[in-house]
Chains A and B, each alone.
Chain A
Amino acid sequence: MDQRIDTAAAKVAQVEAKTVNLGLQGGGSHGAFTWGVLDRLLEDDRISFEGITASSAGAVNAVVLAHGLAVGGREAARDALRLFWKRMSEKTSHGMLQPSPIDKISGNFGLEHSPGYLMVNVMSYFTSPYLFNPLNLNPLRTVLEEIVDFDRLRRRPAVKLFLCATNVRTGKVKIFKTEELGPNHVLASTCLPLLMHTVDIDGEAYWDGGFSGNPAIFPLVYECNSRDVVMVHLTPAERPEVPFTSHDIMNRMQEIGFNAALIREMRAVAFINKRLGEGKMAEGKEMLIHVIEAEDVIREFPGSSRLNNSWDFLSHLHEVGRKRADAWLTDNFVRLGEASTVDLEEKYF
Chain B
Amino acid sequence: MGFFVAASVLCVGRQRWLFLFIAAMSTDQSASTPNTASTRPAGEKCINLALQGGGSHGAFTWGVLDRLLEETRLSFEGITATSAGAFNAVALADGLAAGGREGARKTLRNYWRKVADISARGIFAPSPWDKADPDHGLKHSPGYLWMESLTYFASPYQMNPFNINPLKELLAETIDFKRVREQQLIKLFICATNVETAKVKVFRNSELDVDHVLASTCLPLMMQAVEIDGACYWDGSFTGNPAIFPLIYECQAPDIMMVHITPAERPGVPKTSPSIMNRMQEISFNVSLIREMRTIAYVTKLVDTNNLPDVVRRYVHLIEAEDLIRDLAWSSRLNGDWDFLKQLHDSGRARADEWLAANFDHIGVKSTLDLQAKYF
**A280 engages B287 (CB within 8 Å):** no
Asked if B279 is an interface residue, CB under 8 A from chain A, the answer is yes
Q: Is the CB of A256 within 8 A of B277?
A: no
Answer whether residue B273 sits at the interface, using C-beta atoms and an 8 A cutoff. yes
A166 within 8 A of B: yes
- Please tell me which stretch of B60-68, B261-269, B349-357 contacts chain A, meaning at least 4 of its Cβ atoms lie within 8 angstroms of it: B261-269
- Taking the complex as formed, is B255 at the interface, i.e. its CB lies under 8 A from any CB of chain A? no
Instruction: Determine the chain A residues whose CB is within 8 A of the CB of B270 once the complex forms.
Output: 168, 193
Given the contacts A252-B220, A265-B291, A246 and B151 also touching, CB distance less than 8 Å? yes
User: Known interface pairs A126-B273, A267-B245. Does A261 touch B288 (Cβ–Cβ under 8 Å)?
Assistant: yes
CB-CB contacts below 8 Å: B345-368 with A? none
The contact of A193 among B200, B276, B287, B298, by CB within 8 Å, is B276
CB-CB nearest in chain A for B291 = A264
Q: Which of B157, B240, B265, B284 contacts A211 (CB 8 A)?
A: B284
* Contact, CB under 8 Å: A284 / B307: yes
Residues of chain B within 8 A of A207, CB atoms compared = 280, 283
A282 near B: Cβ within 8 Å?
yes
> Which of A39-47, A73-81, A182-190, A235-243 binds B?
A235-243
Q: Is A305 located at the chain interface by the 8 A CB criterion? A: no
B279 to chain A, nearest CB (A): 7
User: A24-32, A169-177, A324-332, A335-343: which lies at the B interface?
Assistant: A169-177
The answer on a CB contact under 8 Å between A252 and B195 is: yes
Question: Please, which residues of chain A bring their CB within 8 A of the CB of B375?
Answer: 172
Contact of B310 with A170 in the complex, beta carbons under 8 Å: no
A contact residues around B196 at 8 Å (CB): 238-242
Q: Does B16 contact A (CB under 8 A)?
A: no
Nearest-CB residue, chain A, relative to B232: A242
B225 in the interface, Cβ–Cβ < 8 Å? yes
A128 engages B271 (CB within 8 Å)? yes
Residues from chain A with a CB closer than 8 A to the CB of B279 are: 168, 193
Q: How far apart are the CA atoms of A237 and B196 in the complex, in Å?
A: 8
Is the CB of A255 closer than 8 A to any CB of chain B?
yes
B128 at interface by CB-CB < 8 Å: no
CA distance A236 to B284 in the complex (A): 17
Contact of A256 among B239, B290, B307, B311 (CB under 8 A): B239
Chain B stretch 192-213: residues in CB contact (< 8 A) with chain A: 193, 195-200
CB within 8 Å: A-B pair count: 160
B276→A194 contact, CB < 8 A:
yes
Bound CA–CA A170/B234 (angstroms): 25
Closest to A132 in B: B273
**A277 CB → nearest B CB, Å:** 13
Bound-state CA distance A159–B218 (Å) is 44
Do A263 and B152 touch (CB < 8 A)? no
Give A348 to B200 CA distance when docked, in angstroms: 10
Q: Residue A212 at the B interface, CB < 8 A?
A: yes
B238 within 8 A of A: yes
Q: From residue B160, how far is it (CB to closest CB) to chain A in Å?
A: 13
Instruction: Give chain B residues whose Cβ lies under 8 Å from the Cβ of A171.
Output: 264-266, 282-283, 286-287, 290
Which listed residue (B267, B277, B376) contacts A172, Cβ 8 A? Answer: B376
Q: How far is the CA of A246 from the CA of B155 in the complex (A)?
A: 4
> Measured between C-beta atoms, what is the minimum distance from B199 to chain A in Å?
6
Give the shortest distance, in Å, between A60 (CB) and chain B (any CB). Answer: 21
Report which of A166, A246, A263 forms a contact with B239, defined as CB distance below 8 A.
A263
Contact A259 B198, CB 8 Å, known A168-B269, A212-B283, A218-B294: yes
Is B239 within 8 A of A282, CB to CB?
no
Tell me the A258-294 residues at the B interface (CB within 8 Å).
Answer: 259-261, 263-265, 267-268, 271, 275, 280-284
Residue pair B154, A284 in contact (C-beta under 8 Å): no
Q: Is B7's CB within 8 Å of the partner chain A?
A: no
Known: A246-B153, A246-B154, A260-B238. A349 touches B276 (CB 8 A): no
Most buried by B among A246, A261, A271: A246
Task: Check if B158 is an interface residue, CB within 8 A of chain A.
Answer: yes
Q: B312 contacts the other chain (Cβ, under 8 Å)?
A: no
Q: CB-nearest residue of chain A relative to B262?
A: A171
Chain B stretch 143-166: residues in CB contact (< 8 A) with chain A: 151-155, 157-158
Q: In whole Å, how far is A129's beta carbon from the nearest beta carbon of chain B? A: 8
Which residues of B lie under 8 Å from residue A83 when comparing CB positions?
Answer: none
Give the chain A neighbours of B195 by CB distance below 8 A. Answer: 239, 242-243, 252, 256
**Could you tell me if A125 and B287 are in contact, using CB atoms closer than 8 angstroms?**
no
Q: Which residue of A lies closest to B295 (CB)?
A: A268
Contact A281 B308, CB 8 Å, known A194-B276, A211-B287, A260-B287: yes
Shortest distance between the CB of A49 and any CB in chain B (Å): 25
In the complex, per-residue mask of B289-324: 1 if CB is within 8 Å of any chain A CB, else 0 = 011101100110010001111110000000000000
Chain A to chain B contacts (Cβ below 8 Å), 16 pairs: A126-B273, A171-B264, A171-B287, A172-B376, A205-B269, A237-B198, A239-B195, A242-B232, A243-B220, A244-B155, A257-B284, A264-B295, A268-B292, A268-B295, A271-B295, A282-B306
- In the complex, given contacts A260-B288, A267-B245, what are 12 additional A-B residue pairs having Cβ atoms less than 8 angstroms apart? A122-B152, A128-B272, A130-B272, A169-B265, A193-B270, A193-B279, A207-B280, A242-B195, A257-B238, A260-B291, A264-B292, A271-B295
Chain B residues proximal to chain A, CB less than 8 Å: 151-155, 157-158, 193, 195-200, 220-221, 225, 232, 234, 238-240, 245, 264-273, 276-277, 279-280, 282-284, 286-288, 290-292, 294-295, 298-299, 302, 306-311, 375-376
Shortest 5 CB-CB distances between A and B: which pairs?
A: A257-B284, A268-B295, A264-B291, A171-B283, A246-B155
